[in-house]
Structure 1
Amino acid sequence: MSFTVKTNILLILLSLLHTFGHAQEVNEADIILQKYRSVLLENKVKDNNVSNIVDRFDENTGKWKDLNYQDKDKTGWDPSTHIYRISYLSYAYFDSRSDFFKDDQLITVINLSLDHWLNAQYVNRNWFPMEVSIPRSLLNTAILLGDKLTPANFQNILDYASKVKIYKAGANLIWLADNVLHYALLVDDENKAKMAIGKIVNEIQIGAPSGIQEDYSFYHHEERLQQFSYGGAYLEISARIAWELDGTSYAFPQEKVDILRKFLTEGMWWMARGEYTVPPTIDRACSRRNSLKSTVSTETVNYLKDLDPNNPTPYKGMLQSLSGPLPITPKGSKAFYKADLLTHHSENASFFIKTLSERTLPVESINGENKKGKLMNYGNTYFLKNGKEYYNLMPFWDWNLLPGYTFVQGTEDYSRKPFTGSLSAEGTGVSVMDYELEDKDGNSTLSAQKSWFTHKNVMIALVSNLQTSQKESITSLDQSLWAGWVKSGEKIFPTSGDHDITNTGWVYHGGFSYGSPSAQKLGVKLTENKGSWGDINIKYKGEDPYSKKVFLPYIKQQKGSFDYYVADVASLEAAEQLHNKPFWEVISNSEDLQAIKFEDGVLAGVIWTPNEDFKVGQLTISTDVPVYFIKSSSGLTLTSPNPAHKSFSITVNGKHHHIENDFLKGTLLPL
């Protein structure tokens, strides 16, 4: 918690003690509300924004001249913007750095605008603004301004907020309960406050259909990864409410704080690099401006740090990562079985691999959001160093060539298969995908067996048994912001174009090296693409298009097998050295077995065909179901992602073993 907030809280408590004389006589509701008010007082404004809001207001009508009050859109609804502007003005009134600090003109605008809105009875088809964001903004205004509002406006706000009910699950429940709690505190309804707190506490659990999963990923709208969108709100509000209630009779049980800490440190931290994340962790929210920088706030980390004084280390690391120039991340690989996600962090870079199986659902495209992204998450890979590689790049993407995606013309859909998932052990990761694209009639347009391996500073991709209905497929190795020189051996590409680099076999850009020793054609497209946020999200409809530069290395392949790598390297010279002398060897890339051996002795692979003997390094392995594995110093860690395979048999060097399958972490077989 910042020094300012802590100071404000101390002053609040001293004031309350002075008023009531004894600590036991202080109303706990007042303490909680004042702590929440101290949070609201941390909101800062920009004076030019305040000026624009005030200048556009019509005192005669109580409306803003630039808003469409007949708007019917479910997202970016103009009548809700009316309310959000009121909140912004209330923050401005208390922002001591603002020229509008304690300016009574703001109070006049706020009351006139509330007069209009609270009597107009605007309604939207989307439940969220009606029950969450608008009531929250109104309650915040009431808590901040109190008797500076007219009695009628204050009462009308309470009447509006009183209609909110707690009836959903996961993040939606937390949002609703937050509103009900603060309404109950304002009207001194202890029973309703206890009910809301109880709902929140009960919702902080592991394994619910909507909420934190066993691997600390987050589901929302069924089996969809929504880590920093809905999961971020879930964590932020739960942590803040726990902090508000701390020290009162309503305080959260420690086991609930423990769940929130693990959600933060074993889930959130692994899915970001510093302040930044990648599109798969936020689903359709990636079509919102600035969304890839909406991970975890320092305020949220500080709430939990204050609540959890016995575990200071992870919070210190996260705060340094969020606020320092160089992100501090966990090191190595982490597989999220429930999310179909593999993440890997080295000292200077992060890798993310997102797949879709029968267990997880496609990305959402609802409420006018994510209008072009229906093929997203189907075998996508992302690479971060400074975090800005994909930041606000979504309107300028070629959505048929998302990073890591193998595409063929005529594709309209894909098939999700059971043998798809990921595994991690001792810093190494494996992600596997039984890959098939379909046309509009459900006919196969492309199929392949794909696997990705993460180790140290590299991700290696193997593609085998590639078959397509067309002459040629194209695999996007990346599609990131083109920033700075692009180099391939002696060649430098300073301008736009489509460049063939098959003979060189690699290209260097932005601290990453992309290479393939086996592709039929390796190329790199450098383009300046024009787009608008309104193209992908109705919230930004009418915005003017503009251009951004895009870097897109790719492989064109007719059929068969190929492999490629993406590596974090320090220089052009390091990129060339790595390509000429890689520290790994592809043992097999066939339809039966994909396997890699690293110089340090680590082996990793995928057995696609059961009941056959495969030679992998010094091991001869046979299994009765398809599996993937990592052989490290501890032994052989392996799993099958198919929920039907609760157990399976494996023979290693002639010795038979019966395996109880651990889907989340894999089963370790000592050798």
Structure 2
Amino acid sequence: MKYLINRLLLSALLLVSTGAFSQTPVDELEQIRQNYIQSLVSSNDDSDLLNRILAGIPPETEMSDQMVVELHQRYPFNIDGIKAYMENIGEDGAWPDINYADTKRSGWDAKKHADRVLELAKLYHAEGPSCTWSPRFSTVIHQALGYWFRTKPVCKNWWYNEIGIPKTFGPAFILLRTQMTPDELKEAVKVMDNARFGMTGQNKVWLAGNVLMKGLLLDDYALVKAARDTIVSEITTGRPEGIKSDWSFHQHGPQQQFGNYGLAYLSEMSFYSGLFAGTSFALSAEQQAILNNLLTEGYRWIIWRGYMDVNALDRQLFHNAPIHKALAIGNAANSLRKGSSPTDAAKIQVLLDDNFPPQQPEGTAFAGQKHFWDSDQTIHRAPKWMASVKMASERVIGTELVNEDNLKGFYMGDGATYIYRNGDEYLNVFPFWDWRKIPGVTSYESDAPVPSPRSYGAHTRNETAFVGGVTDGHTGMTAMILNRDGLDARKSWVMTDEFILCLGAGIRSDSTLSITTSIDQRKKRGALSYFDNGRWNPVDGLFTSTGKALRFFHDSTGYILMQPENSVAISEKRSGSWSDFMGSYTPQTVEGEVVSLYIRHPKDVPGSYQYLILPASSAGRTASFRTEDIRILRNDEAMQAVAINTCYYITAYQEGAIRLAADLALEIKTPGIYRVEERAGNVRIHAADPTHTRPSLSVRINDYDLKIMQPADQVAGQTISVSVRIER
């Protein structure tokens, strides 16, 4: 576009030619302003791979997620849309299609005005004042500014007034700084005055970022420095909210917020890493390392082939959210890579190559297993598939309902289990879900409305401390006691690169409602079939089976019931509305096809289940898979134990003894989760305390008493290990 290349070259020349620490305060402010402007204008550069991927996705028409709003600011300029803005704007500077009296707390319609001003300002800066295709360009911008300055719209949600609106107008004001009149500049500062230092976590960073933009408008070096210091003060670990010891991110209490506040934090901090580069405000090596670790030890785990894990989205179940949030991770990775050490830059580049575009069919370069002990979540990454399990406990909140986001997500932290091969298996399936049958969850079967988490601060918690996972980094066992809403269950997962084994026991409730365990519920892609009498049979509509250990297959995923079950399989078209669970959307019916597979438990006795999931598989492998090679030693309320060759996975909910092999006995004196591997008399034990309360775990293996101590450099709930040589 006219003048765009010249402006980018001028900005780059300014960055290279300016000495890093020999500048005057005035020079530093100007460099930061130019860095800011360059980031705004270059975000529309269609030569960037991530921007090209974004450009191939139809833009959203309704947005309340700040990350999606900022991502959309990277779309190539929509000249036709901008021309429409200029043609339709009223004499008073308002647009007739915006509801300035909107009372919604999420997706506030009046914010579109600020979004349009920023879009106009970016194009005006790129085109220059001599834009030939619209002599009214400058006039329209000043009209739009004038309307907002006169009417001062206010949202019922403080976030828009103090964060969202200043955060959107601020960059526009910086771009238009030399074009605004003195009176307009005064009004612009009033808009930015709504943001003040305060709060915690990502909200604190957002507010300080708005104050920083105010400082750039006013040429106030001291204010910019104070804002910078406030921002980077959040680049730390060990606080109740923010970056946790396992490289997850918490906000709104002890709650995993990968896809919401955490992603905003990562995106913002990576931006400031570039913004302050080459000045005395630059991040320290330690601060840069913390951000890189958050990316490579945290976010790298929860993105698969360019899609974010649904378990990481939590309440932000927006249209195309897994794609948008993955692209936001990619943009943050790009920014951090530029200022990183060669070792960190190589890790970050692998993340980018793995996802944008997605890795090749031979598989990902990044595989393994991680249990996020601070967030009650486990990720398993095999070369060709990924699985995710999300739980909750007395320590960790499972989900939240805020501003009408996540109206039906009551069960999202009760063992939700998602399986990915392509990455898009659950993309936009939410309007068609039975929300009591979120994959992996054990819950009541009812036509009544799904219970509501109500509001922030009024969560219905899982009333148990026994939730955790053990892993050697390659395979492991994850387990939870479910004690919520009058329902009790023991649930565990054993994950290897070949399969996922799901176990349940002690399933009971004092309710008269039926209880089900959902195996999967996803978008239909091809036929759902069940294997019976030596052949595959398609499911069309509703299929029920009583007392059979059937096998099912759909979309490269096999499901094997390892004990007789009352199972239900569904393949059907459904209709729903995004507004049913995300209140910011306009009510509108959409249709889609879904497959669902679940177990219906008996009411009269405690229920149980044991089934296998074979990801990235085939119908032939599912039909012929030897379940005899997986020995379920116990599956009851006291213990769940599995033998796979010479590796044993045990969840002991109470003290107890079990014979693992003819010449290998294990007595567990401390309830916990254990992985025991024996090779030629050498025994390696990995253990974890799911209650996060014990400094050690004690077991007896044959005649050897072992006390497994928590090392001083590890935290509660983390896997610990010990080796012992035993004689037979």
TM-score surpassing 0.5? Answer: yes
Q: CA deviation at 1:16?
A: 7.6
Matched, 1:132 2:143: no
Instruction: Please say if 1:669 is aligned against 2:706.
Output: no
String of CA shifts for 1:270-304, please: whole Å, max 9, x gaps: 11213212332122112x22222213433211211
Question: How far apart, in 2, do the equivalents of 1:24 and 1:381 lie?
Answer: 54
Q: Secondary structure at the residue paired with 1:614?
A: strand
**Superposition pairs of residues 227-306 of structure 1, within 5 angstroms:** 227-286=258-317, 288-293=318-323, 294-295=325-326, 296-306=328-338
Name the counterpart of 1:586: 632
Query: How many percent identity over aligned positions?
Result: 25
Counterpart residue number, 1:57: 89
Kept after mapping to 2: 8 A contact 1:514/1:553: no
Q: Which moved more, 1:5-14 or 1:524-533?
A: 5-14
Aligned to 1:459: 500
Task: For 1:621-660, list aligned pairs within 5 A.
Answer: 621-632=666-677, 635-660=684-709
CA distance in 2, matches of 1:466, 1:390: 27
Q: Which one of 650, 670, 675 corresponds to residue 605 of structure 1?
A: 650
What is the Cα deviation at residue 48 of structure 1?
4.2
Alignment of 1:479-490 (within 5 A): 479-489=521-531, 490=535
Whether 1:541 aligns to 2:573 is no
Matching of residue 342 in structure 1 with residue 378 in structure 2? yes
> C-alpha separation between the residues in 1 aligned to 2:475 and 2:518?
23
Q: In the alignment, which of 190, 212, 219 is matched to residue 188 of structure 1?
A: 219
- TM-superposition CA deviations, 1:495-523 (whole Å, max 9, x none): 43335497571111111111112142233
Counterpart code for 2:642: I
In the superposition, relative to structure 1, how do residues 582 and 220 fare at CA in structure 2: closer, same or farther (>3 Å)?
farther
- Measured after TM superposition, the shift of residue 471 of structure 1 is 7.1
Residue pair 1:92, 1:101 contacting (<8 A) in 2 also: no
Q: Is the 8 A contact 1:515 1:564 kept in 2?
A: yes
Does 1:27 pair with 2:74?
no
Q: Which amino acid aligns with 1:348?
A: K
Task: Check whether the contact 2:373–2:468 (CA below 8 A) recurs between aligned residues.
Answer: yes
Contact kept, 8 Å, 1:519 with 1:556, in 2: the verdict is no
Distance in 1 separating the partners of 2:540 and 2:88: 44
Using a 3 Å threshold, how does the CA distance of structure 1 residues 6 and 248 change in structure 2: closer, same or farther? farther
**1-side partners of 2:124 and 2:543: how far apart?**
54
Q: AA paired with 1:369?
A: D
User: Equivalents in 1 of 2:6, 2:284: separation in Å?
Assistant: 26
Would you say the 8 A contact 1:337–1:423 is kept in 2?
Answer: no
| Alpha-carbon contact 2:568-2:599 (below 8 Å) kept | yes
Q: 1:325 aligns with which of 358, 377, 385?
A: 358
Name the stretch that deviates more: 176-185 or 483-492.
483-492
Maintained 8 Å contact 1:335/1:423: yes
Aligned to 1:359: 395
User: Offset of 1:375 from its aligned partner?
Assistant: 2.2
Question: Conserved in 2, the CA contact under 8 Å of 1:93 and 1:103?
Answer: no
Deviation at 1:15, TM superposition (A): 5.1
Is 1:512 matched up with 2:561?
no
Contact 2:502 2:611 in 1 (8 A): yes
Query: What pairs with 1:150-229 in structure 2 (closer than 5 Å)?
Result: 150-229=181-260
Alpha carbons 1:93, 1:101 under 8 Å: kept: no
What SS does the aligned partner of 1:228 have? helix
1:373 pairs with 2:447: no
Alignment partners' CA distance in 1, 2:127 and 2:471: 50
Alpha-carbon contact 1:67-1:78 (below 8 Å) kept: yes
Contact 1:336–1:664 (CA<8 Å) still a contact in 2? no
Could you tell me how far 1:108 is from its partner in structure 2?
Answer: 2.3
Equivalent-residue separation in structure 2 for 1:151 and 1:104 (angstroms): 23
* Unaligned residue ranges in structure 1 (runs of 5+): 439-443
How many residue pairs are counted as aligned between the two chains?
Answer: 654
Asked whether the 8 Å contact 2:393–2:467 carries over to 1, the reply is yes
Structure 1 length-normalised TM: 0.91
Does the 8 A contact of 2:549 with 2:562 survive in 1? no
Give the corresponding residue for 2:483. 436
Counterpart CA distance in 2 for 1:5 and 1:247 is 23
User: 1:338-372, CA deviations, whole angstroms, 9 ceiling, x for partnerless residues?
Assistant: 11000001111110001111101131112111111
Counterpart residue type for residue 666 of structure 1? T
Residues 98-113 of structure 1 correspond to what in structure 2 (within 5 A)?
103-113=134-144
* SS, match of residue 99 in structure 2: coil
Q: Distance in 2 between matches of 1:225 and 1:388?
A: 22
Match of 1:390 in 2: 426
Q: Secondary structure at the match of 1:297?
A: helix
CA RMSD for the aligned pairs? 2.8
Q: Name the stretch that deviates more: 88-97 or 377-386.
A: 88-97
Letter in 2 for 1:602: C
Structure 1 residues 564 and 160: CA distance shift in structure 2, 3 A: same
How far does the alpha carbon of each residue in 1:608-639 deviate from its partner, in whole angstroms, 9 at most, with x for none?
221x3222235322233311111247710102
CA distance in 2 between partners of 1:225 and 1:244 (Å)? 28
Of residues 61-70 and 204-213 in structure 1, the stretch that sits farther from structure 2 once superposed is 61-70
Q: What is the aligned partner in structure 1 of residue 60 from structure 2?
A: none
Shift of 1:417: 0.7
Corresponding residue SS for 1:148: coil
- Matched residue of 2:233: which SS? helix
In the alignment, structure 2 segments of 5+ residues that lack a partner are 45-75, 452-459
Q: Distance in 2 between matches of 1:359 and 1:81?
A: 39
Which SS does the other structure have where 1:78 is aligned? coil
User: TM-score, normalised on structure 2?
Assistant: 0.84
Aligned residue identity for 2:608: S
1:124 shift after superposition: 1.7
CA 1:65 to 1:505, structure 2 compared with 1: closer, same or farther past 3 Å?
Answer: same
**Which residue in 1 is equivalent to 2:622?**
575
Contact 2:658 2:666 (C-alpha < 8 Å) held by counterparts: yes
1:308-343 deviation digits (Å, cap 9, x = unpaired): 133222111111123123273621210001110000
8 Å Cα contact 1:534-1:540 kept in structure 2: yes
Q: Secondary structure of the residue that 2:311 maps to in structure 1? A: helix
